[in-house]
Structure 1
Amino acid sequence: MFGRDVIEVATFRGHHSESNDKVSKSNAEGRLLRDNVYGEIDEDAERRDFTINALYYDISDYSIRSYGGGINDLNARTIKLIGDPDTRYREDPVRMLRAVRFATKLDMQIDAVTADPIKALAPLLADIPAARMYEEVLKLFFAGKAEANYNMMQRFGLFAPLFPQVGALIEESPKGHAAKMLQVVMRNTDIRVSEDKTVTPAFFFAAILWYPVKQRADDIAIESGLTHYDAYVAAMGDVLEKQCLTISLPRRFSTPARDIWQLQLRLERGQGTRAFKLLEHPKFRAAYDLLLLRGEVEMGNIAKIAEWWKAFVEADETDRSDIAKSIKGSNSRNRNAPQRKRRRKPAAKPAEE
């Protein structure tokens, strides 16, 4: 503590390969599980991930010590790993994500040797604790570089290990709804950050996981015969459970995400006078924003519903009443939901003469 200022101090660390298992341990893939080896500044520098991170400020003469060519790489705007890339990525696969994040954040290029093994080693991210991956996702997508990070992650195969359900849909249909939604969400998030508006993990995850939920609900409805609504409720639980295996989404965000999904079903059939009631829902705005994004992605009937809601929300009280009354009851039904087949009554037999 220096008055009101806090300076964080980290102990220099040494080479784990020369230590015993009591202070350092790695798994079969080479990832460090425990690493409490202490050393000198030269050893610590060799253990940094990138050369631009191996810079030390010497308070004795106010100089910066550069190891591994860090200053030169900084001036050349190059992200370069210290040591063998394959080994360093296996020690900590999150370094692959850090390479992407530093490149987009600092407007730098990833060195060819540093980039070369990333695609082959990307599946190692699946072994990283889900809680740690949640923190990495916040850094990747909530700092104004979501679209750039997403595009680079796709190029290196780093996105699917984090979001396997979305990745599977994109692989199946590279230009489908899920792929389009990702681009729209990333762009929308960057715009909100640039305008200093709030961005929440609840909406972010609800948006990018919407199409996995939709597909799972369709499968459940076919397999079990559940109603449209019940199939969606079951699908929400399944999708969140699988997603939390790779990224641990806190309940304070997963619960609102469920609300946003459930409101999609109500918004699709809630045109007319019922719209006033929906406006009062605490998560209406988030659900409405997702509906607008779906309108951009899907077009067709969803786009028309989104346009109606946009006109309704932006109108004043008097116009809202007129807009609500102009919708006939038949139009408020959910056209996307499977309709119950009505049984025809058998024709009446003629009376015997």
Structure 2
Amino acid sequence: MVKEEEGFKANVPTKIRKRAHIVPREENGIDLSAVSPFAISVCQKLQDAGYKAFIVGGAVRDLLIGAKPKDFDVATDATRKKSKVTRRAIIIGRRFRLVHVNKGAETIEVATFRGFAKQGVTKDEDGVITNDNVFGEQYEDAARRDFTVNAMYFDPISGDLYDYHHGLDDIRERKIRMIGDPATRYREDPVRILRAIRIAAKLGFTIDEKTAAPMHYMQTLLLSVPSARLADEFSKMVLSGSAVACMELMNRYDISIPIPLFDVLKRTFGLPFVRKGLERCDARVALGKSISTSFLFAVLLWHEMKEEVAKSTGKTPGQIYEEAAKKVADSYRWDGLQSRYVSDMAIIWKLQPRFLVRSRRAAMKLLQHPRFRAAYDFLLLRASSGDASHELADWWTAYEGATDEERLEMSKEAEHQDRKERERLRQERAAEGKSEEGEADGEEKEKKKRRRRRKKRFDRSKPSKSEKASSDKEKVSK
């Protein structure tokens, strides 16, 4: 049930800080060259029109710690319609309306300052805000934000930093602290529990004790959050470049995300293959490289895939992997995984048994496959965790970098080795079969011996022919 809160004030702190601590350009240390020129342009246009305009949120936090912001958000006292500073600006959002200003591939999100709600805010029966289009002053907007490190405002025109809640001090102390009462803020939006963990893991910060205290017992509120939003937050965690740190914090605070994908990761996080996969993805992000979402989810669900392979009734490796991949993919298709990711993930799995066939034709065909690189990287990861042969991984590494003539020789040698290996396995199976037959023969002989012994005992207990004859004569004479 959703109701409108007429007199509700959205987590107003006991002491409202109406005046910000202003840190000038010379002292805040923000490098203006690291700021998006387009974001500066949006702020400039709004200020030229007579409005306040600041870069806010995670971008300011990242600039202060010397990291490169992923994107830039702008906060202003201009209303939504006035915030449309270019023709390529659209109003979006449902719970809180925003303006997206576009230029090429870059999008700047512009939001009007949120106020302490008096009318118009709607909440469900659990206290979760479902509609929040109430505007106010800058200090109110600062109090409405979640963590102190995300509640600072940077004016790219003057270079000044506006800090209402000692966010700069918390950055220096490497601490994540909630603005206002943590339990109330988690009740308003339970996803803040996951955001606290993700931001702390990403920055290498600790979570303030008061902020962390309610997280465990209030995680039940996550059950009321749409699964699509939880899946999105889960994706941010594992793709953030700090997936291992996120999982360690989730385990430390005993927090779970109520979606099947997280259940799988929590169950398999201790396996060398999964942990190495997450570590490699984190390392790629640290180097500024992109992560293949399909590859990452193929790693997370590989344990499930292997279980399905073991249960498959297919006759050939191709059939077995095809059947198992379809079952796993269909099981998690709805769980925040887009169809294109599911399809690519299944291809990575289905290519794994093809690495075992190294004939000239099969090897060249696999090498030319569009998903060879992803499947090959997956094979290397399996080999590094003991799930596949190092010799096989090394062979494919050499094969990929070889000339056509060298590849031909490598395939001939591999085919010869594979024939020898198949013959060895055939002989072992035959020997095992003979051994089993010998054991069966031995058991049969033992049974016959036991039957003969029983028969002898029975025969001894019976009277002999002479004894029986004399007994009969005695009966006749009587």
Question: Does the alignment reach a TM-score above 0.5?
Answer: yes
Candidates 71, 81, 101, aligned match of 2:168 = 71
1:131-210 matches, within 5 Å, as: 131-133=228-230, 135-137=232-234, 139-158=236-255, 161=258, 163-167=261-265, 169-170=267-268, 175=270, 179-210=271-302
1:302-341 matches, within 5 Å, as: 302-327=389-414, 328=416, 329-330=418-419, 331=421
1:293 Cα deviation from its structure 2 partner? 0.6
In 2, Cα distance between the equivalents of 1:59 and 1:287?
45
Identify the residue that residue 5 of structure 1 maps to in structure 2.
41
Q: Which moved more, 1:69-78 or 1:123-132?
A: 123-132
Amino acid at match of 2:209: A
What's the secondary structure of 2:365's corresponding residue? helix
Shift in alpha-carbon separation, 1:118–1:315, aligned structure 2, 3 A: farther
Please, what TM-score do these two structures have when normalized by structure 2? Answer: 0.58
Shift in alpha-carbon separation, 1:208–1:59, aligned structure 2, 3 A: closer
Candidates 341, 354, 377, aligned match of 1:289 = 377
Shift in alpha-carbon separation, 1:312–1:81, aligned structure 2, 3 A: same
In 1, Cα distance between the equivalents of 2:149 and 2:190?
18
Percent of aligned pairs with the same amino acid:
35
Gaps of 5+ in 2: 1-36, 44-73, 75-109, 435-478
In 1, Cα distance between the equivalents of 2:318 and 2:218?
40
Amino acid at match of 1:6: V
Identify the residue that residue 325 of structure 2 maps to in structure 1.
236
Deviation readout 1:68-120 (Å, 9 max, x if unpaired) = 33233233221101122223223223222322232233332211121223334
Candidates 258, 261, 266, aligned match of 2:346 = 258
Amino acid at match of 1:253: Y
In 1, Cα distance between the equivalents of 2:181 and 2:333?
32
1:309 Cα deviation from its structure 2 partner? 2.4
Identify the residue that residue 35 of structure 1 maps to in structure 2.
132
Instruction: Tell me, yes or no, if the aligned pair for 1:54 and 1:68 is still in contact at 8 Å.
Output: yes
What's the secondary structure of 1:6's corresponding residue? helix
Deviation readout 1:158-200 (Å, 9 max, x if unpaired) = 4664523523633xxx64xxx2222211221133233443321
Shift in alpha-carbon separation, 1:4–1:217, aligned structure 2, 3 A: same
The reply on whether 1:51 has 2:148 as its aligned counterpart is: yes
In 1, Cα distance between the equivalents of 2:342 and 2:172?
43
In 2, Cα distance between the equivalents of 1:75 and 1:4?
26
Shift in alpha-carbon separation, 1:226–1:109, aligned structure 2, 3 A: same
1:231 Cα deviation from its structure 2 partner? 4.9
The reply on whether 1:119 has 2:220 as its aligned counterpart is: no
Identify the residue that residue 347 of structure 1 maps to in structure 2.
none
Please, what TM-score do these two structures have when normalized by structure 1? Answer: 0.76
1:244 Cα deviation from its structure 2 partner? 4.4
RMSD: 3.5
Give the count of matched residue pairs: 320
Identify the residue that residue 92 of structure 1 maps to in structure 2.
189
Q: Which moved more, 1:287-296 or 1:198-207?
A: 198-207
Which structure: larger Rg?
Answer: 2
Identify the residue that residue 351 of structure 1 maps to in structure 2.
none
Amino acid at match of 2:115: G
Deviation readout 1:319-344 (Å, 9 max, x if unpaired) = 322221122344489x9xxx9xxx99
1:234 Cα deviation from its structure 2 partner? 4.1
Deviation readout 1:214-266 (Å, 9 max, x if unpaired) = 213434x2xxx4446445434434433443444x2222322211111111132
What's the secondary structure of 1:10's corresponding residue? strand
Shift in alpha-carbon separation, 1:185–1:84, aligned structure 2, 3 A: same
In 2, Cα distance between the equivalents of 1:3 and 1:85?
32
